[in-house]
């Protein structure tokens, strides 16, 4: 959940910087294309972006944490995601082609990792983010081994 919060904060910090730059440019040039009433209130933009960013960084990670789930059984991997529309995915272990472990720079700082489970079908691929590194590596190795053992002839 901390990872998601940091990602939202960084994204909104960039948006805030762009809003400040745009407001300064429009204010300094008194840009002809904008209505005068909008130009007079252009400095409301950065605080508005900052407020949206703070709300987003506080609410979105909690919401995502309540929605995103995953589970691994002996023969299937179950993931659930989505904001308003839920997406459930069951990936048979026998259909797994690759299991990748990766770390973005925020994950590396926090000691987390993401595993990506790929099948021949794009819709059948899944990922589980925000796992502690040791668990992600162990789970990836276990899934790859099980996929190899359960490989069948189905096409």
* DSSP per-residue string spanning the chain: -HHHHHHHHHHHHHHHHHHHHHHHHHHHHT-TTS-HHHHHTGGGHHHHHHHHHHHHHHHHHHHHHHH-EEEE-SSEEEEEE-SSS-EEEEEEGGG--EEEEE--HHHHHHTEEEEEEE-SSSTT-EEEEEEEHHHHHHHHHHHHHHHHHH--S--
The confidence score (pLDDT) of residue 85 equals 87
The tens-digit pLDDT sequence of the chain (155 residues) is 788 889 999 999 999 999 999 999 888 877 667 777 888 888 999 999 999 999 999 998 888 888 888 888 888 888 888 888 888 888 888 888 888 999 999 999 999 999 998 888 777 788 888 899 999 999 999 888 888 887 655 55
Model's pTM, two decimal places? Answer: 0.72
pLDDT number for residue 82: 83
């Amino acid at each position: 959940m901390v990872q998601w919060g940091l990602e939202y904060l960084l994204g909104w910090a960039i948006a805030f910087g762009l809003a400040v730059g745009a407001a300064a440019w429009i204010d300094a040039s008194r840009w002809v294309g904008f209505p005068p009433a909008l130009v007079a209130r252009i400095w409301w933009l950065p605080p508005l972006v900052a407020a949206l960013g703070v709300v987003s960084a506080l609410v979105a990670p909690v919401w995502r944490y309540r929605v995103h789930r995953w589970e691994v059984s002996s023969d299937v991997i179950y993931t659930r995601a989505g904001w308003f529309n839920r997406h459930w995915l069951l990936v048979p272990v026998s259909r797994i082609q690759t299991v990748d472990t990766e770390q973005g720079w925020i994950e590396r700082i926090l000691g987390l990792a993401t595993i990506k489970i790929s099948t021949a079908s794009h819709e059948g691929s899944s990922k589980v983010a925000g796992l502690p590194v040791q668990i992600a590596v162990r789970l990836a190795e276990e899934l790859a081994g099980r996929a190899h053992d359960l490989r069948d002839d189905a096409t």
